[in-house]
Amino acid sequence: MTAAVHFHDQHVEGAGGAFRDDVIHGLAAAPKALSPKHFYDARGSRLFEAICAQPEYYLTRTEEGILAAAVDEIAALVGPDTLLVELGSGASRKVRRLLEALRPSHYLGVDISRDFLLQSTRRLAADYPWLEVHAAWGDYSAGVRMPPSLAGHRAMAFFPGSSIGNFTPAEAEAFLSRLRRALPPGSGVLIGVDLVKARDRLEAAYNDAAGVTAAFNLNLLERMRRELGAEVELGAFAHRAVFNEAASCIEMHLVSRERQAITLDGQRFAFELGETLHTENSCKYRLEDFQALAARAGYRSGAVWLDDQALFSVHYLVD
């Protein structure tokens, strides 16, 4: 069946969002770095789903537990007939229970992975005939843009998974403050935030024994080869994930195991032995530090829920 999804193309080609431009800039930079948004091609999105099922990766299942327990409370706080905006909707698995409890009138999924977005929003439209389903293909990190046909709807933004952790705290504050201005007054945000905890526990989550996170990280090099025709020796790089305590972030890197180079478009990008390409920050917060950050962005804390081990937090922020 063809379920009707209203599609909004917000993808910007050649405006810094393009993979090729970002790779060339990132490899030329010192230190070398690349935005984690480039993890999510079709294969990367599948690998991320597999990460979520790893025993060491507590984030997803802990957040799901928190949401399941809090969903009626959330529905009471938010009220019916809103526009639910999901940022980085991916497989749109977490949002289902929320949709059923909240009964919003409209849903907007925003994701950078076009095929994933279309597939999952079509499924939502088929499963929830009472819901008007919209899909915006684009990079929300560049700022959330409301499709004109949805402007004015009181909204609740759903930003799960601690994806906010990909921003530095300063960027996260700027992002939330822009989000607040992009949504109509009185809109809220339901956001998952991973909490600071023992180094062992944090590092294990990003170094799963099955090697799925390593494959996810190394997939960036495969994308460079497949999509950009880069010459790159996959076996010559290793996955590394360490907790930078001063920055309160898990840092992921691709570490060069030898002196070598990546060649792209006739340019040679040299790596020393041990030199890294920094591929991700995943910042971890203390509860009160995140609430203070949200307050600086103009949000007050409407409610916060934790699991019983205080591994993860879900915040309802109100304008």
- Residues in the site for ligand AVJ, rule: CB under 6 A? 51, 59, 161-163, 165-166, 206, 213, 280, 282
Provide, rounded to whole angstroms, the least separation between the CB of residue 309 and ligand AVJ: 17
Which of 267, 279, 315 lies closest to 35 in space, CA to CA? Answer: 279
Q: Which is nearer to ligand AVJ, 86 or 280 (CB)?
A: 280
Judged by DSSP in three states, 138 sits in coil
Q: Of 162 and 248, which has the nearer Cβ to ligand AVJ?
A: 162
Q: Which residue is nearest to ligand AVJ (CB)?
A: 282
Strand order in the sheet with 6-9: 6-9, 132-137, 106-111, 83-87, 155-159, 188-194, 312-318, 300-306
CB of 255 to ligand AVJ, least distance (A): 15
Minimum CB–partner distance for residue 163 and ligand AVJ (Å): 5
Nearer to ligand AVJ, 33 or 83 (CB): 33
Q: How far is the CB of 213 from ligand AVJ (least distance, A)?
A: 5
| Between 50 and 236, CB nearer to ligand AVJ | 50
Q: How far is the CB of 224 from ligand AVJ (least distance, A)?
A: 18
Residue number, 154 or 284, with CB nearest to ligand AVJ:
284
Buried/exposed 242-257: b ≥16 CB within 10 Å, e otherwise? ebeeeebbbbbbbebe
**Hey, what are 207's tokens?**
């170094």
Cis bond before residue 31 (omega within 30° of 0): yes
Q: Nearest distance from residue 170's CB to ligand AVJ, in Å?
A: 17
Residue 39 or 269 having the CB closest to ligand AVJ: 39
CB of 111 vs ligand AVJ, minimal distance in Å: 12
Radius of gyration of the chain (CA): 20
**54: CB partners within 8 A, 6+ apart:** 208, 210, 212, 213
Q: Which is nearer to ligand AVJ, 54 or 82 (CB)?
A: 54
Q: Which residue has the tokens 């759903």?
A: 158
Q: How far apart are CA 264 and CA 19, in angstroms?
A: 12
3-class SS of residue 203: helix
Residues 6+ apart with CB under 8 A from 173: 293, 296, 297
* Shortest distance in whole angstroms from residue 146 CB to ligand AVJ: 23
Exposed, middle or buried: residue 113 (CB in 10 Å: 0-12, 13-18, 19+)? buried
Identity of the residue, 3 or 204, whose beta carbon is nearer to ligand AVJ in the bound complex? 204
Tokens of 67: 């949401």
